Structure 1
Amino acid sequence: MLKSLSILFLLLCSAFTLAQDSLSNDPPETKWNAFKYDFANIFKGMGHSYTRPFHWQGKQWMQFGGFVAGTALVYTADYETSRFIRANRESVPTWLRDYGEFYGSPQYQMIAAAGVYSIGLFTENEKLRRTGVLLVSSTASTGLLQQVLKTVVGRARPESNLGKDTFDPFNSNRRFHSFPSGHAVTAFTAAYAVGKQFKSPWVKAGIYTAGAIPGISRLWDGQHWLSDFVVSIVISVATVESIDRFLDRKYDNKYNDEAERQAHLKDKKTSWDLNIGAGTIGLALRF
């Protein structure tokens, strides 16, 4: 993960250097100021996402409690779901498993995020620039968080055959880095941030599906439990939503027009609904 962040930093620095040389009709300091402003917002957005729990009130804590309860129910079935998913691995096309492994790799997500931002900066497209800032900030935020959680929690991977209840915090052996799924976190963070740029629910569904495959591929390979995957998706959504709200106050242009942006700022609320019934567990996120 540290290597991936180093790659991201170098790419952003390259973006600044190239930006100074591109579009020579504009004063270099204009792009320099834009880069400084964006770079500051990337780190401020990360800090904003990490500090949100300190600002939660009663309703948010109740929603979090519902999420924990739902995750606990998934956890109880981790062994059975893992056995079933791994048993059907060979029925999944090889190209799909390879795609999941490749696309979910953190370094590729970092490169893609920096690439989107660079294009927005070069072309002076503020909407694309803002999208790039959201991608970079969200990817870096979730990437660091999942790396810390892996180390602190120390959950054994399914392939270790030590059971779903085995935890060895601060064990550097990768066999104890099951929670959460790095592939699921990084891939779905990018997919969710990109999906927010489109209005069509079908386009969103396609993008979210593509972003979920890397995490699912890790279940096939016995690298993570289902509860690891579920928590990873929630971390991705919560982080992107948090940073997106922060950036609403920093940029004038968004993925929608001005009228929709104002409505988005006024009505944007996130809520969690946990539905539990006979043989059914449902967790719905509305935003």
Structure 2
Amino acid sequence: MKSLKYLFILLMALPVVGQDFQSKKDKTLWNDFTYDVGNIFGGVGHAYSRPFHWKGNDWANFGYLTGGTLLLFTVDDQLNDWKNGFREDIPDFVIDYGHEYGSPENNYMLTGGVYLAGLFTKNEKLRRTGVLLISSATAGGFLQQVSKRIVGRARPKSGASSSTFDPLHLDRVYDYDSFPSGHAMLAFSNAYAIAKQFKNPWVKAGIYTVGLVPGFVRVMDDFHWISDVAFSTVLSIFIVESIDRYLDSKYDEKYNDNEKKLSWNLSFGPNTMGVSLRF
């Protein structure tokens, strides 16, 4: 009778042991990698599908973004003339950094490096950060490439005004691919995603500042208008936030549980307009 009791306990324990062994077996480098790749594509698809699920506040935020871009559009030429007065005062290393950091090849070297570090060290939080970086860059990068061909806005260095357009081209038309700014979008996507790892507001502000440099430099060197960069920067925040919330359901490690959603505040006064974004 006692032997039957032991046999019963053993049979009950076998499924538990088997499940534990299976979970350890499934936790391989290859399985982690394929899981993460699936989440990268899932994150991109999630970001693109969000407008179909927007509600009142979401449409209000998009309206603020559109309205702010249009307001900047009306003064792009004047702002471009004004900034030419201090272009030579900017150090060369800032200009070089701004052009190089926001380029797609350098962007994916950084994001890929972060992801691989997390993968090989089995650090889920770092893996998730890498997935967020890669999927945000992919979603924003593809969107801006398509938008450039549809909008066909003249770059400042073309000599044309900010209201000059040559839209709807399958191939990229150089000097008419100003809107939106790919450098600004990629650079600030990275900065915004990385800043999520920190709670200190000064650290966040420092990271955001570094992320804003490529967009600033592209304006200074006549590759983009201010409205191009402003739109791209805010849109990158939308993309990162959307994908990050999607990844909450895919990974145990979360770092935005206590974060508030985006909130906007518009203020108007005599000859002034203010827009604040709280994140």
Hey, what's the Cα distance between the residues in 1 that align with 2:214 and 2:261?
Answer: 28
Q: Give the drift of 1:275.
A: 2.4
TM-score using structure 1 length: 0.84
Q: Give the drift of 1:63.
A: 2.6
Hey, what's the Cα distance between the residues in 1 that align with 2:267 and 2:104?
Answer: 33
Which among 247, 257, 282 is matched to residue 274 of structure 2?
A: 282
- For residues 1-287 of structure 1, the aligned pairs below 5 Å read 30-171=28-169, 172-255=172-255, 262-264=257-259, 268-287=260-279
Moved more, 137-146 or 166-175: 166-175
Q: Give the drift of 1:200.
A: 0.8
Hey, what's the Cα distance between the residues in 2 that align with 1:106 and 1:152?
Answer: 20
1:254 partner SS: coil
Q: Give the drift of 1:85.
A: 1.4
Q: Give the drift of 1:65.
A: 1.6
Q: Give the drift of 1:87.
A: 2.7
**Contact 2:65–2:234 under 8 Å retained in 1:** no
Q: Give the drift of 1:282.
A: 2.2
Letter of the aligned partner of 1:101 in structure 2? H
**Contact 1:185–1:236 under 8 Å retained in 2:** yes
Hey, what's the Cα distance between the residues in 2 that align with 1:200 and 1:284?
Answer: 19
Query: Following TM superposition, where does structure 1 have runs of at least 4 consecutive aligned residues deviating by more than 6 angstroms?
Result: none
Hey, what's the Cα distance between the residues in 2 that align with 1:44 and 1:126?
Answer: 18
**Contact 2:99–2:217 under 8 Å retained in 1:** yes
Hey, what's the Cα distance between the residues in 2 that align with 1:66 and 1:187?
Answer: 22
Q: Give the drift of 1:201.
A: 0.7
Hey, what's the Cα distance between the residues in 2 that align with 1:263 and 1:58?
Answer: 22
- Residue number in structure 2 paired with 1:9: none
**Contact 1:178–1:225 under 8 Å retained in 2:** yes
Q: Give the drift of 1:150.
A: 0.8
Hey, what's the Cα distance between the residues in 2 that align with 1:220 and 1:188?
Answer: 17
Hey, what's the Cα distance between the residues in 2 that align with 1:274 and 1:148?
Answer: 30
**Contact 1:67–1:274 under 8 Å retained in 2:** no
- Residue number in structure 2 paired with 1:4: none
TM-score using structure 2 length: 0.87
Q: Give the drift of 1:285.
A: 2.1
Distance 1:245 1:195, change over 3 A: same
Q: What fraction of aligned residue pairs are identical, expressed as a percent?
A: 53
Distance 1:32 1:170, change over 3 A: same
**Contact 1:153–1:179 under 8 Å retained in 2:** yes
Hey, what's the Cα distance between the residues in 2 that align with 1:278 and 1:128?
Answer: 48
Distance 1:226 1:34, change over 3 A: same
Hey, what's the Cα distance between the residues in 2 that align with 1:278 and 1:246?
Answer: 42
Aligned residues: 254
Runs of 5+ unmatched residues, structure 1: 1-25, 256-260
Hey, what's the Cα distance between the residues in 2 that align with 1:63 and 1:242?
Answer: 13
Hey, what's the Cα distance between the residues in 1 that align with 2:193 and 2:107?
Answer: 12
Q: Give the drift of 1:279.
A: 2.8
Hey, what's the Cα distance between the residues in 1 that align with 2:173 and 2:84?
Answer: 22
Letter of the aligned partner of 1:206 in structure 2? G
Letter of the aligned partner of 1:252 in structure 2? D
Hey, what's the Cα distance between the residues in 2 that align with 1:37 and 1:28?
Answer: 11
1:223 partner SS: coil
Letter of the aligned partner of 1:157 in structure 2? R
**Contact 2:264–2:275 under 8 Å retained in 1:** yes
Moved more, 187-196 or 163-172: 163-172
**Contact 1:97–1:217 under 8 Å retained in 2:** yes
- Residue number in structure 1 paired with 2:6: none
1:250 partner SS: coil
